[in-house]
């Protein structure tokens, strides 16, 4: 899962949005450095990542990538799942628009930024200004996201090419997302994630 899905599921679980977004920037035991609600959110994010990577639908999606991009397939899929969630937001969260949810998430997270890693603060400065969560719905924006990730991490240059796998298997990936995401939502609502 990427940013949008983590925030959406955290909201459904009544978990800390700052903690769930911060998780990729924190190592070790989060309770040593963060308030309990934030640390709980960090751990929820970690559990969700582990669970998602092992879902049968995600395992089924990985072979859709060509040999030259298969190594980065898990990263690409995280972005792809956010695309499908944004594109079909009205089906998963009809009570609030994606733009309104994005504003709610921003307002929940921004007051928590002081004291967080500088890289996390920089991410937030760009993410909210450029409205990433809403733009994830655009397939062309996904290409831009993957290209940006490839530029920032040269050893992951294959991310740039993996966008073609996403486009070539769009319908199949979308069907896989529709199979597993409602289950994750149910787990979030029952607070068992």
Q: Packing angle between helix 170-189 and helix 158-168, nearest 10 degrees?
A: 100
pTM: 0.95
Residues 6+ apart with CB under 8 A from 185: 9, 12, 92
- In angstroms, the Cα distances linking 110 to 27, 32, 37, 72, 103 are 21, 22, 16, 31, 10
- In angstroms, the Cα distances linking 141 to 82, 87, 95, 136, 163 are 12, 12, 25, 6, 10
The DSSP-derived string for 145-182 is HHHHHHHH-GGGTHHHHHHHHHHHTHHHHHHHHHHHHH
Residues 6+ apart with CB under 8 A from 123: none
- Reported residue count of the chain is 193
pLDDT by 10s per residue, the chain, length 193: 589 999 999 999 999 999 999 999 999 999 999 999 999 999 999 999 999 999 999 999 999 999 999 999 999 999 999 999 999 999 999 999 999 999 999 999 999 999 999 999 999 999 999 999 999 999 899 999 999 888 888 888 999 999 999 999 999 999 999 999 999 999 999 999 9
Nearest to 7, CA basis, from 115, 122, 96: 96
Contact between 84 and 175 (Cβ < 8 Å)? no
Contact between 137 and 87 (Cβ < 8 Å)? yes
């Amino acid at each position: 899962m990427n940013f949008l899905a983590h925030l959406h599921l955290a909201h459904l679980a009544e978990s800390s949005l700052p903690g769930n977004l911060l998780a990729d920037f924190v190592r070790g035991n989060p309770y040593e450095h963060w308030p309990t609600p934030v640390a709980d959110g960090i751990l929820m994010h970690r559990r969700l990542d582990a669970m998602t990577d092992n879902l049968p639908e995600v395992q089924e999606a990985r072979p859709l990538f060509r040999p030259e991009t298969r190594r980065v397939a898990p990263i690409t899929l995280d972005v792809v799942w956010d695309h499908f969630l944004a594109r079909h937001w009205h089906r998963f969260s009809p009570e609030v628009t994606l733009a309104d949810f994005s504003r709610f998430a921003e307002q929940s997270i921004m007051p928590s930024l002081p004291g967080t890693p500088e890289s996390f603060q920089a991410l937030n400065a760009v993410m909210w200004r450029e409205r990433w969560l809403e733009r994830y719905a655009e397939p062309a924006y996904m290409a831009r996201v993957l290209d940006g990730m490839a530029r920032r991490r040269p050893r992951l240059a294959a991310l740039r090419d993996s966008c073609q796998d996403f486009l070539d298997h769009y319908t199949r990936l979308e069907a896989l997302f529709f199979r597993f995401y409602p289950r994750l939502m149910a787990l979030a609502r029952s607070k068992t994630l």
